[in-house]
Amino acid sequence: MKYEYNFNSPTTFFEHINDAFFELDQDWNFTYFNRAAEKLLDKKRDELLAHNIWESFPEAVGSTFYTKYHDAIEQQKEVLFEEYYPPLDTWFFVKAYPTQSKGLWVFFSNINPLKEAELRLKESELNFRSLFEKMTPGVVYQDKDLKITDANPAAEQILGLSFDEMQGRSSKDPRWKAMDENSKELPSEMHSSVQAIRTGKPITDFYMQIFNPLLNEHRWLLVDSIPQFKESEAKPFQVFSVFRDITDRQRALADREEMMHIITHDLRSPVRSALALFNMIQEKMSSVNHNVQEEMLHLEKSLQRAVQLSEDYVQSINLEKEDGSRQRTLMPLSQLIHDIAYVHEPLVKSEGLEWKLEFRDIEQFSLQLDVPRIKQVFENLISNAIKFTEPPGYIRFSAYQEKDHVVLEVADSGKGIAYKDQARIFSKFWQPDGRRGAGLGLYIVKKVIDAHRGKIVLHSMPGEGSTFNIRLPKTDG
């Protein structure tokens, strides 16, 4: 008797799934067979419906398929397994579920590509281990508890420890004597591997210093920490860190930076003298023709730019050397807002932009501030906003309180900042593509805010403007 299947029944759903699927009754006869199964098993459904599976596929008797399907029905449990079927030269991944009618639902798929990949992976393991042992950068593996589980010889040399000495040691072990890029103690929670495990995101280009007991000195490392995940798990099960010893490079940079500091410091005096002389000449040339006046204007801007660059560089060096001991003044927040608005509102309007000043509930608060530097923060932010905002855009300066902090914001409707650049916007000597400058302005801004125990965060959408959000601890006054 030919088996008739009703294609208007709900089981037509199985025609549209990606997996191959068939249904068996309690006598092991096929009751349904979708098109994907036809293709994968190279059998037409008309050949199989109402026929016994073990008679139709006699090679499967006694195999894992036979055992697992019987387990599923006899124990009334789902089974999942992988198995190779020689007649079709195919590896299958199978999920089988017992039905209420004592039959079986079977979903399966061809995993030949996966098995081939596994074979290639196994074949490459020896090559990988050889590379791991011979590669120049240090490599360390840590488990989810941040204990070291593996390290290559380069890591042993860079860290000054044998693998036996470092195995099981955690990133939080004080014996690392870790320091940050400013040679200050690096909290254990800020280690790149700790951050990678905590956030589940790669931490790259991380500068730190580690004590090498063999050399009896700290060594500079540039570290990339990459979390690794098991399938279907949201949290990493381990992290591996790749690092290079860049001590010689950092020492050379420090020497060059010191030299640049001396040169820049010495440069400021003649440039300022040239600017003063220029102003005297300009006063005496008030009657000279327009072309010369225009050239003089360009010269003035160049001199002013040279002064600003030298000032920025010297200030960046000073900020790095200071320990936060500069004198602070208790300043009413309302006075700070007034001073900033008084200076910058005319500048914004002169560029054809709208000036927006928004504040609320700030009258009763005062802040302990290094006033000249905090004003420079807003001079830098507002100047940048003007530079990258076209008329008829706007610059908005806002202030309000939020719990234990005062929030100050500079927002614009300008070009915005590309997503790829936002993570590095506060880095020293770095500028987005196509922008000119020394790359110190926003670096100085962040250093000043950090010195005030505050935080600055950028929110930007390319083409829709940027907002710099600053939080400073408030003082009741």
Residue with more model confidence, 84 or 476: 84
Whether residue 126 is contained in a domain is answered as: no
Owner of token pair 């929030």: 407
- Phi/psi for 246 (5° steps) reads -115, 25
Q: Which residue has 């790359």 as its token pair?
A: 439
- Over residues 247-260, the pLDDT tens digits come to 887 776 666 566 56
Helix then strand count (H, E) for the chain reads 14, 18
CA atoms within 13 A on the CB side of 171: 28
| 115-126 pLDDT per residue, tens | 887 777 666 655
> Is the residue at 369 inside a domain?
yes
pLDDT beyond 80 at 303:
no
Q: How far apart are CA 19 and CA 80, in angstroms?
A: 14
Determine contact, residues 2/22, Cβ cutoff 8 Å: no
Backbone angles phi, psi at 394, to 5 degrees: -140, 160
Residues 387 and 427 in one domain: yes
* Distance in angstroms (rounded) separating the CA atoms of residues 167 and 151: 8
Instruction: Give the per-residue pLDDT at 3.
Output: 37
Q: Which residues contact 467 (CB under 8 A, 6 or more apart)?
A: 409, 410, 411, 412, 458, 459, 460
* Cβ proximity of 469 and 457 under 8 Å: yes
> Is residue 128 over pLDDT 70?
no
- Report how far apart, in Å, the C-alpha atoms of 101 and of each of 49, 68, 78, 318 are: 17, 18, 15, 81
pLDDT at 1: 36
Report d(CA 13, CA 290) in Å as an integer.
83
Residue 128 lies in a domain: no
pLDDT above 80 (res 94): yes
More confident of the two residues 295 and 42: 42
pLDDT higher than 50, residue 9: no
Q: Write phi, then psi, for 385 (nearest 5 degrees).
A: -60, -40
What is the rounded distance in angstroms from the CA atom of residue 96 to the CA atom of residue 100? 13
Q: Which two tokens stand for residue 148?
A: 């070291």
CA pair distance 347, 342, nearest whole angstrom = 10
Q: Which amino acid does the sequence have at 405? A: H
Same domain? 97 vs 166:
no
- pLDDT of 132 reads 62
Query: pLDDT band for position 68 (50/70/90)?
Result: very high
- What's the pLDDT at 5? 39
Query: Where among 321, 352, 380 does a domain terminate?
Result: 321
Q: Which domain holds residue 450?
A: 329-476
9-18, 37-46, 197-206, 400-409: which range is least confident on average?
9-18
27 and 158 part of one domain: no
Through-space distance between the first and last CA atoms of the chain, rounded to whole angstroms: 95
Query: What does the pLDDT average to over 35-58?
Result: 92
User: Domain check: are 21 and 101 in the same one?
Assistant: yes
Q: Could you say which of 189, 214, 245 is where a domain stops?
A: 245
Residues 385 and 465 placed together within one structural domain of the fold: yes
Provide the pLDDT for residue 421. 85
* 160: number of Cβ within 10 Å: 17
Residue 31 lies in a domain: yes
pLDDT recorded at residue 477 = 46
pLDDT (tens digit per residue) in 356-365: 999 887 777 7
Q: Per DSSP, what are the bridge partners of residue 46? A: none
Residue 178: CATH number of its domain: 3.30.450.20
170/238 same-domain check: yes
120 occurs within a structural domain: no
Look at the block and give the residue holding tokens 């040239």: 274
With 90 as the cut, is the pLDDT of residue 53 above it? yes
- Across the range 298-307, mean pLDDT stands at 61
User: Of 196, 212, 245, at which residue does a domain stop?
Assistant: 245
Distance of alpha carbon 249 from alpha carbon 376, whole angstroms? 32
* The three-state (H, E, C) secondary structure of 152-198, written as one string: CHHHHHHHCCCHHHHCCCECCCHHHCCECCCCCECCHHHCHHHHHHH
Quick one: 355 and 461 in the same domain? yes
Q: Give the mean model confidence (pLDDT) for residues 341-365.
A: 88
The amino acid at 332:
P
* Tokens representing residue 326 in the block: 């500069």
pLDDT class of 7 with cuts at 50, 70, 90:
very low
DSSP 61: T
Number of CB atoms found within 10 A of residue 50's CB: 15
Mean pLDDT, the chain, rounded, equals 83
Q: Domain of 429: which CATH number? A: 3.30.565.10
The residue whose two tokens read 């010689």 is 248
- Res 349 pLDDT > 50: yes
CA separation for the pair 218, 220 (Å, rounded): 7
In a domain, 308, yes or no: yes
Within a domain: residue 5? Answer: no
Write down the H helix ranges in 190-289: 192-199, 247-284
3-class SS of residue 229: coil
Strand order, beta sheet including 329-332: 329-332, 365-369, 475-476
- Same domain for 51 and 71, yes or no, is yes
Range among 183-192, 266-275, 467-476 with highest mean pLDDT value: 183-192
Residue 12 confidence (pLDDT) above 90: no
DSSP3 helix / strand / coil % (the chain, rounded to 5): 45, 25, 30
Flag the least confident range among 189-198, 345-354, 419-428. Answer: 419-428
How many domains would you assign to the chain?
A: 4
Taking residues 168-195, report their average pLDDT: 88
Is 90 exceeded by the pLDDT of residue 274? no
415 and 280, same structural domain?
A: no
Read off the pLDDT of each residue in 290-317 and give the average, rounded to a whole number: 61
Model pTM? 0.41
Q: Which pLDDT value is given to residue 272?
A: 66
Check whether residue 22 and residue 156 sit in a common domain.
no
In-domain check, residue 299:
yes
Confidence of residue 6 (pLDDT cuts 50, 70, 90): very low
| Rounded CA Rg of the chain | 35
Alpha carbons 404 and 450: distance in angstroms, whole number: 16
Residues 336, 312 share a domain: no
Phi and psi (nearest 5°) for 198? -70, -45
**Which of 106-110, 177-181, 318-322, 372-376 is predicted most confidently?**
106-110
* pLDDT tops 50 at residue 8: no
CA-to-CA dists, residue 223 to 63, 136, 203, angstroms:
51, 14, 8
pLDDT value at residue 37: 93
The more confident residue out of 386 and 4 is 386
Query: In this predicted model, which residue has the larger pLDDT, 464 or 123?
Result: 464
pLDDT, residue 14, reads: 78
Same domain, 141 and 231: yes
Q: Is a pLDDT exceeding 70 seen at residue 20?
A: yes
* CA gap 354, 392 in Å, rounded: 7
Mean pLDDT, rounded, for 31-55: 92
